[in-house]
Chain A
Amino acid sequence: MTITLTAEMSALDTPLVIKGREFRSRLMVGTGKYATLDLMRRAIETSGAEVVTVAVRRVDLDRTKDESVLAHLDPAQYFLLANTAGCYSVADAVRYARLARAAGFNEWVKLEVIADEQTLLPDPVGVVEATHTLVAEGFQVMAYTNDDLVTALRLEDAGAVAVMPLASPIGSGLGLLNPYAIRTIKHRLGVPVIVDAGVGTASDACITMEQGVDGVLMNTGLAAAKDPVGMAAAMRYAVEAGRLAFLAGRMPRREVAVPSSPRAGMLG
């Protein structure tokens, strides 16, 4: 499939900028749960994403499993954003962030402090505390959080370079559950708002972007699609469509019909 980014797209929108760094796409993608690493590589390529998340885990000493994800992704082509997924305490999240930084790519981290195993909902107190710690150490923190305005404001105060409220729980594919909350967060924050988690299909991504947020991060929505490469193309267009619709400004909703054709000039 050939994806052509139209020239007018760049004329209609400004690039996503986080902490002075410009990114070529408002769509960010994860690298987990793909059936094969080759499928992952093709889906990510098709998505047009520049920011690609990775997780920090032990090396398999007996090497029975596949090797590092970096064997399949060119770090020169993508911006690697390490996450602290799976961390249930501030101490663990900080430790994983430090390990990720020691890999030597950048000082950025997608900070997750998870509170509950069933919902994987974030720990708002923990994520604010960990943000303080990591910002003091020079990290650029993108903080995963609930769709709660007050936590989002606290994260901005703590020095997060972007705040990442969820659309719905990680891996749920339930789409944007609270557009009002996301809009409120976007209105009140100065730093970019990237909606992370829960986007299940293209309409979810589009509706999310229509709220005016700066970007969307997804993983399972692509990896668990029947055809991840096809869904990556759909998501790419959906994010762009939602962004352009937001910028264009939708018509007002009304409860009654208004004809599009003139009432005058009808035959007698």
Chain B
Amino acid sequence: MPNVPPATIFPRMTPSETHEPLVAAGRATAPDTSRRDARPGSIGLTINGEVRTVPQDATLADVLRSLSLDPRTVVVEHNREILRDRDAYATRRLHAGDVLELVHFVGGG
């Protein structure tokens, strides 16, 4: 194929596309990661079903960076709320026990 583009990039979204939380935020489905965390100054999150520890003051943007994920290539669901404004990742605070789902497009029929 001539000129293969940087196709991993999802299109830019506008704030007008931001939606209300689709499902009420809740932590009931998460394992209790808030208590198993030993290190002071850090919190436990469940990311894609795995328990991960991040610094207490980490934002969503920090977490994606630490996972080497380009924010433009993933869709984020935070405690069942789909985030449609990628610019807000930098200010999105995370709390112990929060559940993140990071998804993208894979092959399917």
B78 to chain A, nearest CB (A): 12
Question: Are the CB atoms of B108 and A31 closer together than 8 Å?
Answer: yes
Residues 13-27 of chain B: 1 if any A CB is under 8 Å from the residue's CB, otherwise 0?
100010000110000
Give Cα A79 to B76, complex, Å: 22
Given A72-B7, A98-B82, A104-B13, also A58-B102 (CB < 8 A): yes
Question: Are the CB atoms of B108 and A102 closer together than 8 Å?
Answer: no
Whether A229 sits at the interface, judged by CB under 8 Å, is no
Q: Secondary structure at chain B's binding surface: helix, strand, loop or mixed?
A: loop
Residues of A contacting B39 with CB < 8 Å? none
Question: Are the CB atoms of A61 and B48 closer together than 8 Å?
Answer: yes
Residues 28-54 of chain B: 1 if any A CB is under 8 Å from the residue's CB, otherwise 0?
000000000000000000011110100
Residues of B contacting A132 with CB < 8 Å? none
Residues of A contacting B84 with CB < 8 Å? 102
Give Cα A72 to B103, complex, Å: 17
- Interface with B: A80-88, A147-155, A205-213, which one? A80-88
How many A-B contacts at CB < 8 Å in the complex? Answer: 125
Residues 60-90 of chain B: 1 if any A CB is under 8 Å from the residue's CB, otherwise 0?
0000000111000111010000111000000
Whether A17 sits at the interface, judged by CB under 8 Å, is no
Interface residue tally of chain A, by bracket? 35 or more
- Interface with B: A62-70, A184-192, A245-253, which one? A62-70
Give Cα A102 to B77, complex, Å: 10
Whether A128 sits at the interface, judged by CB under 8 Å, is no
Residues of B contacting A73 with CB < 8 Å? 7
Whether A54 sits at the interface, judged by CB under 8 Å, is yes
Give the contacts of A27-81 with B (CB-CB under 8 A).
Answer: 30-34, 37, 40-41, 45, 53-59, 61, 63, 67-76, 80
Set B4, B48, B68, B108: member contacting A83, Cβ < 8 A = B108
Residues of B contacting A41 with CB < 8 Å? 1
Residues of A contacting B50 with CB < 8 Å? 61
Whether A136 sits at the interface, judged by CB under 8 Å, is no
Question: Are the CB atoms of A104 and B7 closer together than 8 Å?
Answer: no
Among B67, B74, B102, B109: residue with most chain A CB under 10 A: B109
Set A54, A55, A59: member contacting B48, Cβ < 8 A = A59
Question: Are the CB atoms of B107 and A54 closer together than 8 Å?
Answer: yes
Given A63-B68, A70-B8, A104-B10, also A58-B109 (CB < 8 A): no
Give Cα A56 to B74, complex, Å: 10
Whether A267 sits at the interface, judged by CB under 8 Å, is no
A125 to chain B, nearest CB (A): 22
B67 to chain A, nearest CB (A): 6
Residues of B contacting A31 with CB < 8 Å? 106-109
Q: Which residue of A lies closest to B104 (CB)?
A: A68
Give Cα A236 to B7, complex, Å: 25
Residues of A contacting B108 with CB < 8 Å? 30-32, 53-55, 83, 85, 219
A140 to chain B, nearest CB (A): 16
Whether A16 sits at the interface, judged by CB under 8 Å, is no
Whether A146 sits at the interface, judged by CB under 8 Å, is no
Q: A31-B107, A58-B101, A63-B68 are in contact. List 10 more A-B contacts (CB 8 A).
A: A30-B107, A54-B108, A61-B48, A69-B106, A74-B5, A83-B109, A85-B109, A102-B84, A103-B10, A171-B109
